[in-house]
Amino acid sequence: MALSDEERKARRKEYEDTHKELRASWRDSHKDELAAYREKNREELNRKNREWYQKNKEKVCLRTNKYYKKNISKYDQYKKKSYGGIRLESLSKVDPSLKCANCGCDDTRFLEVNHIKGGGMKEHQKRDDGMRNMILIIRSGKRGTEDLNLLCRACNSLDHLERVYGKTGLSVVWDKKED
Ligand SMILES: [Zn+2]
């Protein structure tokens, strides 16, 4: 009698569970052969992977989403910690003093990368390597920082307004809190 999909899956899982260590040690002792096999059949394997992915796309997305949602705090913590460090590193490449070039604000939470002569949006749209985030672009070394400076978010907004409307009469004052 033919097995149903469910039954076959269950048997396979049972087999994999009981033979886990055996399989792992086999893989371990056949590393070179496996690597050679993968190298030799790379295109075929890639094609199969792609086909499998296309067929199972929705399932994969669902699983990834579910995993992400379950572990969201872990991801967030990781992202915050690592991205925060990367951000400061990139900002200090633009200006080691980590200050707004206009008002002097040195609260790094408010600082943003600014194109001194404008053209930020153009660069944004022109990039074809998929990198849209200045922090990551600077970090990658794909562009220099000579035409960039740091502005706090308030001064950056004002800069934008004055580019669009001309002089606005607005000004930003950084009233540094002493603590
Ligand atoms: Zn400012």
Q: How many helices (H) and strands (E) does the chain have?
A: 8, 2
Q: Where are the beta strands (DSSP E) in 14-129?
A: 111-115
Report field, pTM of the whole predicted structure over 0.75: no
Q: If you measure from the C-alpha of residue 61 to the centroid of ligand 1, how many angstroms do you get, rounded to a whole number?
A: 42
Alpha carbon of 164 to ligand 1 centroid (Å): 18
160-178 per-position pLDDT tens digit: 899 899 999 999 999 987 6
Q: What is the pLDDT of residue 72?
A: 81
Q: How far apart are the CA of 95 and the centre of ligand 1, in A? A: 14
Distance CA 107, CA 103 (A): 11
For residue 8, the CA-to-ligand 1 centroid distance in Å is: 65
The predicted structure's pLDDT at residue 46: 93
pLDDT tops 80 at residue 3: no
Mean pLDDT of the chain: 87
